[in-house]
Structure 1
Amino acid sequence: MKGASIEATLELWASSLREVKARMRPLFSQERVAASANSFLDGLLGDERRKTGWMRAEAAGDAGPWRQQAILGRGRWDADALRDVVRDYAIEHLGANDAVLVIDETGFLKQGKASCGVGRQYTGSAGKVTNCQIGVFAAYVSAKGHAFVDRALYLPKSWTADPERLAAAHVPEGTTFATKPALAVAMIDRAIAADMPFAWVAADAVYGVGDIEQVLRRAGKGYVLGVKSDHHFGSWADKPVVAGTAAQIASKLDPGAWQRLSAGKGTKGERFHDWAYFELADLEADEYIDGATGTWTRGLLIRRHAADGDLAFFTTWCPADTTIDTLVGVEGHRWAIEDSFETTKNELGLDHNETRSWHGWHRHVSLVMLAFAMLAAIRARANTTPPKRTRTRLPT
């Protein structure tokens, strides 16, 4: 971390850990349960590569993993309340009005059939259909950093159609099948209800069409959402004629229509690709929000990979006169959630959950989210350039 001495960084670590533990404390009715939660958090932040119950117990000095396991299983506390604590903490440290809410999913490889939501399904984590759980996540991304602010376990229809299986995994009564986009809509609704400051939503083609677009338009939020190559686009009114599937439109592009732009910095520097953008229609804000003013533009953004020419397509919604540079930057923020998945799995044990229940999954994931948000807050504070000192001239 630049901008802070080792001594200052260590103190920042200690004070931040005390703070997040204090924020968790009201969730637990008993001191011993709170102490176990604190030990669990310490274990997630420890040096052990595997964050299993036994490893966390050993780090905490416990004779066995029972206290660690009780936090995820037998203890009585609300994982959704912890999710809200994480969200509020992240916004306090990373909040910005131009932030991007990024939606994506990740897989948790599992054996057997008992773990809640497990089944043979496709996960990009493995790049194939395999036995796994799928979690849908929302990450908050601003110039100050990024952190997870919401999560949901996806239940396939094979689960929601089996009441005995749901009961065995302690899934809340009344839980029904919800698509991944529906889970994303619920997250966006929660973010808006909590007055979370953000201007954009970015997501891949799993979430690119349907209810998400309508929810964001009514909320006055811009978006850059992935769509498939066969998604149809058409311009109207005074915009240049554009019509056809995304792939057809891309195939007819003049070489001069492409612009080489960076989608932001990655681990290897600026991520340059070729981009093309079409404004399809201008619409007045009051068509979606009563009393709203201003013009918004619906568009199509196309990315061509600089190395292999692979194409990706995005439907966009933004205030009129928004530049292609801005839209490319919003799409580039999706990299942050990929980094978040990698970091939390490799360093914080996101995929080391050993419980099989619904509440066990949500509790484990929420605790990992808190640990990751704390690290993001520390990084943001440590990297803040201190104000320049100015000399005060004493009166003579």
Structure 2
Amino acid sequence: MGNLAEFEHYLEHLCEVLSRVDRGTGLKDYCRGLMLPIARKSVEPLAAYSDPLHVAAKHQSLHHFVAKSEWSNSSVMGRARDWVMPTLGLDSGCYWIIDDMGFPKKGKHSVGVARQYCGQLGKQDNCQVAVSLSLASEQGSIPIAYQLYLPKDWAADPVRRKAAGVPADIVFATKPEIALAQMRQAIAAGMTMGIVLADARYGDETAFRDGITELGMRYAVGIRPATTVWEPGHEPVAVKTLAMALPPQAWRTVAWREGTDTELSSRFAAVRVRPAHRDYLRPEMRPEEWLLIEWPEAEAEPTKYFLSTVPSGAALEQLIFATKMRWRIERDYQELKQEFGLSHYEGRGWQGFHHHATLCIAAYAFLVAQRLERGGSKKNGARPETPSLPADYVPRGSRTSAATCAGLDSDAAMPHRASHRPQASAMPLLWRG
């Protein structure tokens, strides 16, 4: 079966969880548009390329499907997840990766937008932030849960909540709390349990690490230099202070591969410690776990710190391999934003934000499965013809158009800027030929 026919079969697979048959047309047209190599993938361009001769009508129907129609994000994402899972090879190693994605935004009316840390910019700015849980293996990864973080001011503002359609059961939750809820839902859905990976924004919170342990999973998470631990027979000490006092023989240079074909290397040390946090409230000290420290030769001090509950007998190479698996999702973020238009949604509402993200992830999931079925090959597949637009077509909202597009967001996403994250190798679109 060719790629195009297989994709149509996949779309039918997704449509099986829609509560109404007529919603299938919207899902199929939206996902087909997301697969096309067009620059902008907000609703109106998708409508223009989906039905060039009836752009206004198609725009209205797609906008209703993504912004107003009642269908389950978790059900559609679950179908996408089930399609990819057999290709991931989770039996040889499973990882649950927690991270968040920031979307720079102008204005203040788009749901959840606030001045906060934006990973894409590497600083505080006006943006939306969504927390994601990805399922990963050595072969690949795919997001399986995705939720917008609602800042306190938004969560406590009934007027803005109503205008953006925020569900009544959505209350303020920190990003680590959202991540733990996503993990509980994944366990309830029967997902293969694995090692949880996250950066210091999550791993530095004791409650987050304790929550992972209570779920019955191990972790390898980043922490900040000031995080304190108990050394055997000593007072609590900051991990940076501990690292700087280690003898030269504690450090080893180890090579690894960080989600690419390129071999990387750095200097590491691993020490057994007990995390220190409000120990006076506990009847006994916390169990020992690994403190992994990375100190590149060229740096004046250590650059990264991790706490991990992988078994005490784990080799240094195994610890490093687990922590570096977190960068597996960098390709996911890059492709979802640049190739599948994850940051292109222009509506202001809660439902549209999540519906658009679900469909972007669903389209991307098919590409991931196709690549893994080819043994990781990046060879491009056949590409369908992109429909030609009428000669007199003018995008709604452009300066040369008197018409405005109902439902489009004046708080549109800012142009893409360089991320502070390391660049991952790009994965070609299924139909880019």
TM-score normalized by the length of structure 2: 0.78
Alpha-carbon offset, residue 217 of structure 1: 1.9
Work out whether 1:303 is the aligned partner of 2:294. Answer: yes
Note if 1:233 corresponds to 2:229.
yes
CA spacing shift, 1:241–1:89, aligned 2, 3 Å: farther
Determine what percentage of the aligned residue pairs are the same residue.
29
**Between structures 1 and 2, the one with greater strand share:** 1
Partner of 1:135: 130
What is residue 185 of structure 2 aligned with on the other side? Answer: 190
Report the more deviating stretch, 303-312 or 217-226: 303-312
- Superposition pairs for residues 167-206 of structure 1, below 5 Å? 167-206=162-201
- The equivalent of 1:72 in structure 2 is 66
Contact 2:259 / 2:325 at 8 angstroms: preserved in 1?
A: no
The structural deviation recorded for 1:374 is 1.1
Q: Is the 8 A contact 1:28 1:76 kept in 2?
A: no
Confirm whether residue 261 of structure 1 aligns to residue 254 of structure 2: yes
Are the structure 2 counterparts of residues 15 and 308 from structure 1 closer, same or farther at C-alpha, using a change threshold of 3 Å? farther
Return closer, same or farther for 1:95/1:357 CA change in 2, 3 Å cut-off: farther
Q: Deviations over 1:318-355 (max 9, x none)?
A: 12311221111111111112221111111110101111
**Once the 2 structures are TM-superposed, how far is the Cα of residue 95 of structure 1 from its aligned partner?**
4.7
- Structure 1 residue 266: Cα displacement: 4.6
Task: Indicate the residue corresponding to 1:5 in structure 2.
Answer: none
Determine the C-alpha separation between the residues in 2 that align with 1:138 and 1:227. 19
Residues 242, 280 of structure 1: 8 Å contact kept: no
Separation (CA, whole Å) in 2 of partners of 1:253 and 1:380 = 42
What secondary structure does 1:136 align onto? strand
Change (3 A) 1:263 1:150: farther
* 1:324 aligned to which of 316, 329, 332: 316
- Residue identity in the other structure for 1:76: E
- CA distance in structure 2 between the partners assigned to 1:137 and 1:152 by the alignment: 7
Preserved CA contact (<8 Å) 2:220 2:306: yes
**Gaps in structure 2 of 5+ consecutive residues:** 276-286, 378-433
Where does residue 207 of structure 1 map in the other structure?
A: 202
- Corresponding residue for 2:278? none
| 1:42-78 Cα deviation digits (max 9, x unpaired) | 1111110211222211221242322221221122212
For the aligned residues, what is the CA RMSD? 2.2
Tell me the residue number matched to 1:82.
Answer: 76
Instruction: Indicate if the aligned counterparts of 1:16 and 1:378 stay in contact, CA closer than 8 A.
Output: no
2:293 aligned partner, one-letter code:
I
Residues 109-142 of structure 1, C-alpha deviations (whole Å, 9 max, x = no match): 1111111100111112111211110011111110
Cα displacement string for residues 74-131 of structure 1 (whole angstroms, at most 9, x for unaligned residues): 2221222222223333323325142111101110111111111001111121112111
SS, match of residue 16 in structure 2: helix
TM-score under structure 1 normalisation? Answer: 0.85
Cα displacement (A) at 1:166 = 0.7
Q: What do residues 172-223 of structure 1 show as CA deviations (whole Å, max 9, x unaligned)?
A: 1132110000011011111222221132011001111323322322333221
Q: Distance in 2 between matches of 1:45 and 1:297?
A: 48
Distance 1:353 1:384, change over 3 A: closer
**Given the superposition, is the C-alpha separation of residues 218 and 266 from structure 1 closer, same or farther in structure 2, using an over 3 Å criterion?**
closer
**Number of residue pairs matched?**
359
2:372 corresponds to which letter in structure 1? A
1:299 aligned counterpart, secondary structure: strand
Match of 2:334 among 339, 342, 360: 342
Q: Tell me if the contact between 2:290 and 2:312 (Cα under 8 Å) persists in the aligned partners.
A: no
Aligned position for 1:291? none
Separation in structure 2 between the aligned mates of residue 196 and residue 31 of structure 1, nearest angstrom: 28
> Are the aligned partners of 1:95 and 1:197 in contact in 2 as well (CA < 8 Å)?
no
Q: Which runs of 5+ in 1 are unaligned?
A: 1-10, 283-295, 386-396
- Residues 1:219 and 2:215 are matched in the alignment: yes
Deviation at 1:234, TM superposition (A): 1.2
Question: Which deviations, in whole Å up to 9, do the C-alpha atoms of 1:228-264 show, x marking residues without a partner?
Answer: 111001144xxx8695101101111222211222342
Larger CA deviation: 322-331 vs 242-251: 242-251
Amino acid at match of 1:68: L
Cα pair 1:298 1:316 within 8 Å, conserved? yes
In the superposition, relative to structure 1, how do residues 75 and 230 fare at CA in structure 2: closer, same or farther (>3 Å)? same
Distance 1:32 1:305, change over 3 A: farther
- Of 330, 353, 376, the residue aligned with 2:345 is 353
Which residue type is aligned with residue 49 of structure 1? A
Q: How far apart, CA to CA, are the structure 2 residues paired with 1:326 and 1:12?
A: 40
Correspondence 1:271 to 2:252: no
Equivalent of 1:118 in 109, 113, 122: 113
C-alpha separation in 1, matches of 2:2 and 2:272? 47
What is the distance in 1 between the residues matched to 2:298 and 2:259? Answer: 15
Cα deviation 1:257-292 (Å, max 9, x = unaligned):
11222342455712212111012269xxxxxxxxxx
Q: Is the 8 A contact 2:97 2:134 kept in 1?
A: yes
Deviation at 1:15, TM superposition (A): 4.4
Whether the 8 Å CA contact 1:51–1:349 is kept in 2: the answer is: yes
Query: 1:244-259 residue pairs with structure 2 within 5 A?
Result: 244-259=237-252
1:9-43: per-residue Cα shift (whole Å, max 9, x none)? xx452344123212221333444421111010011
